Structure 1
């Protein structure tokens, strides 16, 4: 099963998103946004950029 982005409003009235794996575990969360449209732009940015992202191991 594929992952799912959830867009939601937090207790402070800000919009956020989280990415859940197929098993329901949260694997990524977005920052707080003032509008739902901005949160959706954040989702699209992750979709666009994550496929080609590299790992920068700074340990």
Structure 2
């Protein structure tokens, strides 16, 4: 099984928690990365979603 990137992990975590707030601190601890890495990941997701209409089809559980 392919290891998921931080971006994939963050997206899947957010999608599984649509009805609740998920903090950057929680994500950083869960995935053992810095909060800055989570911040950069979220900002990259914003850009990817804006410029790639097929972005969400790249993720699978």
Give the shorter-chain TM-score range: 0.3 to 0.5
The TM-score, its normalising length taken from structure 2, stands at 0.39
Greater radius of gyration (CA): 1
Q: Which structure has the higher relative contact order (CA within 8 Å, separation 6+)?
A: 2
* Greater share of residues in helix: 2
* Greater share of residues in strand: 1
The TM-score, its normalising length taken from structure 1, stands at 0.40
